[in-house]
Amino acid sequence: MTQAPPPTDMHMQRSSRAPEEVAALIGTWLTGEVASDRPVVVEVVGGIDTNGLSSDTLVLDARWTKDGQEQGGRYVTRAAPAPEDVPVFPTYAIQAQGDAIRLVGEITDVPVPAVPFSEPTGSVLGVPFFLMEHVDGLVPPDVLPYNFGDNWFADASREQQRALQDATVDVVARLHAIPDAATTFSFLALDGEGSLNEQHLRRVRTWYEFGAADIGRSPLTERALAWLEANVPTPARPDETVLCWGDARIGNVLYRDFEPVAVLDWEMAALGTREIDLSWMVFAHRVFEALTSMMDLPGMPHVLREEDVLATYADRTGVEIGDLTWYYLLHAAQWCCVFLRTGVRQVHFGEIEQPEDPEGLFHHRVLMEKLLDEVGA
């Protein structure tokens, strides 16, 4: 089949909730949380439109009075999507996300936003959510992707780009250095059967079945899953479990002067192997490079090359990482799940017509087919 290029306007609606209604509900709830002398005033001052396709995210200013003293702050919401808004993931462990961010902030020097408020029951918005303190910074955009050009990261010097890349790999190294992660982050454990790699593969299989149910099955994804299941590698360090950020990529970090000031988006956090995060960081950039190739744009092939990422990681940790092919295909299947679910969402909100072939949604299709051909799948 012929794969259509991505649209030049890649904005996607994420929620049917009215932002002002959300703000009012949060204000009523916060009045009790902070024991305000009068109702908390919450104002919507922005949204997150350039990055993130999953959780509902708003920027809010909240003001209240306690014991006669004016208080308040700027916060970012992190809420599970409503079921009718076509969630990207099968489940949203909002409480676990918030707890992971808090713990990382408490026991490491990895920069994460403070999470002062959380509502895990769904009684306020109909779904669980938490509020993070707002952090000023810049993020390499996803919409349109940073490697399309005409943005602060693409316009930076190669030395600045490499400094940002190395600093982000260093964040991953520090997360992986947390001692006894299996105990500290036990609430992020997957189903516990089989090796860590088998557990992550099973999570992707479940995610695919969830996505295919609404838009149709994908022979390409199933071809990848079959190969992955037949070739699960034994973890290089079988007795080691690390905290995996999960969505480890530069588009999920706020930077100032090319240094990380807030590590964001913990929806895919889990216990796992070092390879999970490092391969995702490299492969996510390759997906964006596939998009620029389709658009006949030069892209940024010098950024996030495997050899550079692994060399920096080895320098920071002393750990040499081996072949990542299996992990790249695992992530290729994950991106299929993302594109299937965001495609269903676009149909739901009337942004696209129901596709005859759901694989037409896979902007990384050529990249994935090349990987499958290379392994003989």
pLDDT means over runs of 10, the chain (377 residues): 48 67 96 94 79 70 94 94 87 93 98 96 94 97 95 98 98 98 97 92 96 93 98 93 97 98 96 98 97 94 98 98 98 96 88 90 94 96
Name the 3-class secondary structure at 256.
strand
Q: Provide CATH code, domain 146-375.
A: 3.90.1200.10
The pLDDT of residue 46: 86
DSSP codes of every residue in 4-29 = PPPPS--------S-HHHHHHHHHHH
The pLDDT of residue 350: 87
State which H helix or E strand residue 76 sits in.
strand 69-79
The pLDDT of residue 17: 77
The pLDDT of residue 2: 43
The pLDDT of residue 8: 46
The pLDDT of residue 261: 98
Pure H helices in the chain: 19-33, 94-107, 158-176, 181-184, 196-215, 219-230, 274-294, 306-317, 325-348, 365-375
Distance, in Å, from the CA atom of 144 to the CA atom of 155, rounded to the nearest integer, reads: 14
Which of the listed CATH numbers 3.30.200.20, 3.50.50.60, 3.40.50.12280, 3.40.462.10 matches domain 19-133?
3.30.200.20
What does the domain layout of the chain look like in residue ranges?
19-133, 146-375
The pLDDT of residue 48: 55
The pLDDT of residue 258: 98
Q: Note if 247 is an active site residue.
A: yes
Strands across the sheet with 129-133, in order?
41-47, 58-66, 69-79, 129-133, 117-119
The pLDDT of residue 49: 52
**Entry pTM:** 0.92
Q: Which of 247, 277, 323, 373 is catalytic?
A: 247
